[in-house]
Amino acid sequence: MNACLKNSNLWAHVKILKLTTNMRVRLQNDDSGQTFSDQLLAIGNGKLPVDSISGRIQLPADFCNLVTSKNELIEKVFPNILKNYKNNKWLSERAILAPKNIDVHEINNIVLTKIRDQAVLYKSVDTVLEPNEAVNYPSEFLNSIDLSGFPPHVLQLKIGVPIILLRNINPPKLCNGTRLAVKKKQWKT
């Protein structure tokens, strides 16, 4: 604990800054984006009313549309996906966020089955750098690890499907989080 920044002599000279302006909303001059941003802040700051029976917060009526299944969610976010999935503008206006990788993989698989192109499977190459450690970390174990920010061991792609870049390749053009679309498939021989 004595090595932390707050116990350092430098702490007295640190100026704490707080982010107060949502720059994405400000730059896009979007009133609905500002409303959504304000609602998210209210949720995060605990300012929404709590239902006395269930103990859950009550979301504003215009906050979101509730659905009963993942298929219904996909249909609402990506209507007529078979017709529109190669339209980059249409795709750039849509996204489904999920808190767990297992949900992300399931939603991705449902969307991929709706697209009638042939899928290509790409597998990661997981090896241990130290040969002596191969006994402790077999490739089967390494392939089973599903970490946030890393692609799955088996990545299934089709032409036109959206993907998100996970690593900076050519900043500022190709940075972590950039949304792209698959244009060509290549098989490794």
Helices vs strands, H then E, count in the chain: 7, 4
SS3 string, 64-78, reads: CCCCCCHHHHHHHHC
Q: What is the pLDDT of residue 2?
A: 67
Residue 75: the pLDDT is 94
pLDDT value for 69: 93
**How confident is the model at residue 173, as a pLDDT?**
81
Say whether pTM exceeds 0.75: no
Per-residue pLDDT of the chain (189 residues; tens, 9 = 90+): 667 888 888 888 989 888 777 777 777 777 888 888 888 888 888 888 888 898 888 888 888 888 999 999 999 999 999 899 888 888 888 888 888 888 988 999 999 998 888 888 888 887 778 888 878 888 888 888 888 777 788 888 998 888 888 887 777 788 888 888 888 887 665
Cβ(152)–Cβ(143) under 8 Å?
Answer: no
Per-residue confidence (pLDDT) for residue 71, from 0 to 100: 93
